[in-house]
Structure 1
C-alpha cells in the first residue's frame, strides 16, 4: 500500500510516535466502530474502552491527520457561539444545559494527560486579547457570562497588565483565563491513541471508509475489509470526504494557516510571552499564537477556502506576526501548513443519529479542541444509554447553507470579507 503521511507541519516533525498502524484487511466485529482518528473519534473510543466496550477505529490516513493534528493547540472554552446567544435563540433551558458542559472539554484533556501520562507540552493559561475598546467591553461581558455559569478563573487585564503577559503594545486590554492553556495537539491525539490501544482498542490507518451499511448490525466497509458493529460513530468532521452526503450539506470546510519560527532564544521568548500563555485576539478573522515546548513561536490566523502552498502561507501569516511582534522581522520560519475546520451556518456543533445506531458529531466552527473532547464523552454516554446531554446538543437546529454546495463558499467568503472590514474599523 502507499504509506500515507502527515502534512509538513512542526507537529508532524516533532511527533513522539511516527509508527504506522496496519490497514484493515478482512472482516472484523466490534461493539462500536469509530470513523476518524482525531479528537472526536479518539475521545469517543477512549471513553468507551474505559467502560469495557470493544471498539475499532478506522482512519483514512494517519492518526491526527486532520484538524486534530494541525490546530493551534489552545484550550479555549465554550462554543463558537456563547451561552447568551444560545439562550436567546434556543431558550434559557438549552443555554443553561449547554453552559453546564461548556468548560468540561478542558478538564477531559487534562484528565487524559494526567491519567495516561501523555507527553504533549501541556501548559496553563490563555489570553483573549482585545484589539479595540469595543472588544474589551465585550470581554467584560464574556467574563460576567462565564462566571454566571460557574467559571471563576478569569481576570480582566488593562493596557498595562496585559503587557505582563504579551510583549506588544497592540492591545488595550484582555481577559486572562487561568484554566485555559496550550499543548502539542498531535502528540496529545497520539497519546490518546496509545491509551486507547493499552485498553485493548484497535486502530487501522490507511483504511478509508467507502460505505456505511445501515441495519441492526451496521457494516462499515473499506477497500479491503469490513467492520460489523452494534453502533457507529462518524467523526470525520472536515475530512469526511463526502462519505455521508446528508452531513456534507450541513457544513463547510474552511482553512486556517499556521507558521512556526526557528527556535528563539530564552530572552526572545521572555520578551514575547513572559508568562508562556497562549493568546488569541478577538477579531472575527482572529490571530492566535503561543510558544512551543522547544521555544518556537507558533502563529496562525485567517480563514481561507482550500489549501495553500507553504510559501503562500508565509506571505499570509508573517505580516500578521510582524504586526504583533515587529522585532521578529529577521527570524526564520521553519514550518508552514494549512488545515481545515468545519463551519456550520449557526456556528454551533452538530450532533445527531442516522437511523438508530449511527451517531455523528461535527462542525465545531473553530472551537474543536475542547468541544471534540466533550463530544467523545457525550457520545459514549449516549451509546451506554444516558442520552440526556447528547439530546440537548442533538436538538439544536441544523440548517444547510443557502444555495447548497454551489453557493456556500462565495456566501461565506462575502461574510468573512464583511467581518474583516469590521475588524479593521473596530466596529
Structure 2
C-alpha cells in the first residue's frame, strides 16, 4: 500500500524534507503521546522534550499534512477576535491575561527557527490593508489597542505611504506590523519535526489513531500499534474527524484556497511588493498574499463552509488577485490547492481537559500560525503543573454551533454572506 502524500501545493513541491517517516507497528510507552504533527502538536512536543519528557507524535498522514503545511505562511498576531471583544464578552481580567499572550506566538516561531536552524525563508514585516475609510479607522483603533497591551512595532500608513509597500490602487491605507512576517510553512513544520527528533522524540506518519482508552495511563491505538502514556494531547484540529466526539460538535472545518503564480520577474516583484512584506486585507472574507522566496506570488482567500473541496480553485481566487493586481492579467498560475481550518462559534481557540490527563487545543478560526505555537507552550506548562495560562483559555465558554451537525454549515454561510455584503458596501 502506498504512503499518503501531501496535497499538490507549491509548498509540497518546494519542501526541503521529502523523506517519509515509518508508521507505528509496535506497542510502546512514553510520558507524552500527541495526536497530530502540525504546529500545535510539534510546538507541544518541542517544549515538553526540552523539559525532559519522552514524547511520541502520531500523524495520520504526513508531517504538516493539514493546515500547518498549506496556509498563507503569515505571522499575524493576536486571535481571530481581538482583546476588546474578549474584554467586552468575558471581562477585563480575561482580556488582560489573553493580551499578555497575544504576541508571544510570533516570538516562539522566531526562537525555534533560530535555535534549531530551520530553513524556512523567514522574513519580517506584515501589513493590514484597509479597503475603505471605515476599515482604516478600525486599523487606527487596532494600533491603539495593541499598543495598550505592550505591542509597539506598528506604523499607520496613509494611501500614499502604503503604495511604498503594496503596488495596488485597491486600498485606502494600512497598518504595518514590523514584528509580523512570512515564511514557507511546510518547511517550518518539517523543521520543527526534525527539532523534536533531535531532542529524542519519535514521530510516526501514516499512523491514524482509531481508538483512545482513557484512564490513569491512556492507551492510544492505531491500526498496527499502541502507545501507552501518562499524558495525551489531542492536536488534530480540522483533521481530527470523529475520533473524539465531544470535541466534534464544538467546531466546524472550513476550507480556504491558495494559488501560486509562476516566478515573476524582479521588476514585477518590486512593483507588487517593494518591501517584500506579506499582506492581508480587512474584509470579513479576507484576501492574503506574499512573495515566495523565489519570487512567486502566493495569493489566498475564499471560504468554503463545511470544508467542501472546491472544483475550481483558480476561478475563485484569480479574480480577487486581478482586482488587487490587474497587471498580472496574463500571468500563469502554477499551483492551486485548498486546506481546512477549524472554526469556533466565538472565533476563539478552545483549550480543555478530558479527565485528568488528556488535553486538547483546537479551533484557531483562521488565526492559527501564532496561536498554535503559543498553545504548544501553554500545554507544556499545564502538564508540568502550571495551569494558570492554560486555564485562561480553558475557562472560555465553548458553544456548539446552532443547528447541530445538520444545519451549522448553512447557518454559518448565511452569516458570512451578511458580513461579506457589508464589506462590499463599505460598512
Per the TM superposition, whether the score is higher than 0.5 is yes
TM-score (norm 1): 0.99
Structure 2, unaligned stretches of length 5 or more?
none
1:366 deviates by: 0.6
3-state SS of paired residue (2:263): coil
The whole-number CA distance in structure 1 between the counterparts of 2:295 and 2:97 is 40
Residue 222 of structure 1 corresponds to 222
Report whether the alignment pairs 1:104 with 2:117: no
Secondary structure, counterpart of 1:80 in structure 2: coil
SS of the equivalent of 2:163 reads helix
Partner-residue secondary structure (3-state), 1:229? strand
Aligned counterpart, 2:75: 75
Deviation at 1:403, TM superposition (A): 1.4
Question: In the alignment, what sits opposite 1:315?
Answer: 315
Query: What do the CA deviations read for 1:43-70 (whole angstroms, capped 9, x no partner)?
Result: 0001101111000000000000000000
Mapping of 1:156-235 within 5 angstroms? 156-235=156-235
- 1: CA distance between counterparts of 2:385 and 2:309? 43
SS at match of 2:420: helix
Q: Matched residues in 2 for 1:316 and 1:404: separation? A: 28
| Partner of residue 134, structure 1 | 134
How many residues are treated as equivalent by the alignment? 426
Match in the other structure for 1:384: 384
Give the distance between the partners of 1:287 and 1:195, measured in 2 at CA.
32
Q: Which residue of 2 aligns with 1:62?
A: 62
- Kindly state the Cα deviation for residue 241 of structure 1 after the two structures are TM-superposed: 1.0
Following the alignment from structure 1 to structure 2, what is the Cα–Cα distance between the partners of residues 235 and 165?
36
Distance 1:246 1:347 in 2: 18
Q: Do structure 1's residue 290 and structure 2's residue 290 form an aligned pair? A: yes
Which residue in 1 is equivalent to 2:416? Answer: 416
SS in 1 for 2:216: coil
Offset, 1:163: 0.3
Q: Determine the C-alpha separation between the residues in 1 that align with 2:309 and 2:165.
A: 32
| SS in structure 2 of the partner of residue 386 of structure 1 | coil
Distance 1:33 1:404 in 2: 31
Could you list the runs of 4 or more consecutive aligned residues of structure 1 that deviate by over 6 angstroms after TM superposition?
none
3-state SS in 1 of match to 2:152: coil
Structure 2 matches for 1:13-412, cutoff 5 A? Answer: 13-305=13-305, 306-308=307-309, 312-412=312-412
Quote the offset at 1:412 in angstroms.
0.5
**Normalised by the size of structure 2, how large is the TM-score?**
0.99
Q: Determine the C-alpha separation between the residues in 1 that align with 2:13 and 2:309.
A: 19
Deviation at 1:307, TM superposition (A): 3.8
Q: Counterparts of 2:319 and 2:400 in 1: how far apart (Å)?
A: 35
Q: Distance in 2 between matches of 1:126 and 1:350?
A: 26
